[in-house]
Amino acid sequence: MDISVAFKFVIILLLIIILISLTRGLHFLMKDDDQSVKMAKSLTIRIVLSVLLFILIFVGWSMGWISPNHI
């Protein structure tokens, strides 16, 4: 497997995990009685994963593993 394909797979997997965390935060906002602790933890995880995603995209771009479309 090429490194760029593996890198893109990691990026997509990280996006899916971010969406799951966001969905859990919404669930805790709507249904949970003690919503402040669980919702804050879920959204904190989402923020950390989003920052990690941004750093990974920047590293992948600087290493040449991903490149923008030149349309």
Alpha-carbon span 1 to 6, nearest angstrom: 7
Question: What confidence tens digit (pLDDT) does each residue in 12-23 have?
Answer: 999 999 999 999
pLDDT band of residue 71 (cuts 50, 70, 90) is low
Q: Does position 63 have pLDDT exceeding 80, yes or no?
A: yes
Q: How many domains, the chain?
A: 1
> Is residue 71 situated within a structural domain?
no
- Collect all residues with Cβ–Cβ distance below 8 Å to 16 and sequence separation of at least 6: none
> Is residue 70 situated within a structural domain?
no
> Is residue 69 situated within a structural domain?
no
> What's the pTM?
0.82
Average pLDDT over residues 55-66: 91
Question: What confidence tens digit (pLDDT) does each residue in 24-53 have?
Answer: 888 888 886 766 788 888 889 999 999 999
> Is residue 53 situated within a structural domain?
yes
> Is residue 68 situated within a structural domain?
no
Alpha-carbon span 59 to 42, nearest angstrom: 26
Could you tell me the residue range of the domain that residue 7 belongs to? 3-63
Is residue 65 a contact partner of residue 3, using CB atoms and an 8 Å limit?
yes
